[in-house]
Amino acid sequence: MTNPFSYQPARNPLSRAGAVPKMFLMVCVSVASMNFSPLPLLILIAAGLLIHRLAGIPLGAMIKPSVFILYLGIFSALVRGLFPGGGRLFALETLGDSGLYTLRLFSAFLCARLYYTSTRASELGDSLSVFARRMFPNLRIPPDHGQELTLNPGRKAPYSGILADPGMILSLSLLFLPKTFETLGRVKEAAVLRGYGKGKTLPKTMAMIGTLVSVSVKSALTTAKAMEARGYSARRTITRRKTTAGDYALCAAGFLILILSALPGI
C-alpha cells in the first residue's frame, strides 16, 4: 500500500518553504474547512488538488485514504439519518449535511498531505527547540558525561532535557502517522504472503490489528535504542533556517483563509 503521508523530496516553492508557515497554513485551512459553506469549500479543495499538481505530488496515493473518508461520510449519514422517528427508516434531508462533512474531512486531508509530503518531521521539531531555547535561555540541560551544563551560570533554572529539546518529541509524534501507514503496508503484504488476504474474516482482521500494534511498539523501542546508540543529546546543534518571503506569504494566505471562513454567508 502506498503511503499517502510519506515525505517526497522535490524542488518546488512548497518544499523550500519553512515548516512553521506550512503548519500554520494547514491549521488555518483545516479550521476554515469546518466553517466554509459548500461553494468556498469546493474552491478550497480544487486549490488543494491544483497545488498537488503544481508541486509534482502524485495523486494516486490518495485513492485508498479518500475511500476511507467516504466510508466515514457514509457512517456519518447513517448516524444522522437512521430512524428519525415518525415511522420513517431514514431522513433524506440529512444527506446534505453528511456530504458536506465528507468534503470538510477531504479538504483537511488534502492540506495535511501537502504538509507531510513536502516537509521533514524534524524541521518543525527543530523550530520548536530553537523557540524553547530562546524562551528559556537559562535552562540547565542534563549533562552527557556526568558534568552539569548551565547556559547561564549566574542564574538558577529548571533542570530538564525535555524543555531543552521539545522538538525531538514533536518530531517523533509527527512521524507517527507516516510510520503507521508504512507498518500497515508491511503487515498487509506479509498477510497476503501467508494466505491471510483471502477470505477476510473478523478473526483474521483482529490478528492483523494485533500484529500492527505489536510491530508499532517494537518500532518505538527500536527508535529509543537507536537514539541512545547514536549518542542523542538535548544539547544537539540546530541550524536555524532563514525566513523567506514565501514563508510570510503562506502565513498571510492562512490568516486570510481563516478570516474569510469567519465572515457570515461564506
Domain parsing of the chain, residue ranges: 13-119+242-262, 124-229
| Cα separations in angstroms, 170 against 47, 133, 167, 173, 175 | 28, 15, 5, 5, 9
The three-state secondary structure class of 140 is strand
Please tell me the predicted confidence (pLDDT) of residue 149.
44
Distance, in Å, from the CA atom of 136 to the CA atom of 199, rounded to the nearest integer, reads 57
Low-confidence ranges of the chain (pLDDT < 50): 144-152, 154-159
Distance, in Å, from the CA atom of 139 to the CA atom of 102, rounded to the nearest integer, reads 46
Torsion of CA 224, 228, 231, 232, to 10 degrees: 30
**Quick one: three-class SS letters along 151-208?**
CCCCCCCCECHHHHCHHHHHHHHHCHHHHHHHHHHHHHHHHHHCCCCCCCCHHHHHHH
Contact of 247 with 22, CB cutoff 8 Å: no
DSSP secondary structure code for residue 129 in this structure: H
Cell, residue 20: 512553521
Please tell me the predicted confidence (pLDDT) of residue 159.
43
Please tell me the predicted confidence (pLDDT) of residue 47.
94
Distance, in Å, from the CA atom of 90 to the CA atom of 101, rounded to the nearest integer, reads 18
- CB half-sphere exposure, 172, CA atoms < 13 A: 13
What counts of helices (H) and strands (E) characterise the chain?
A: 11, 4
Cell, residue 111: 492540506
Please tell me the predicted confidence (pLDDT) of residue 162.
61
Long-range contacts made by residues 145-150, C-beta under 8 angstroms, separation at least 24? 149/235
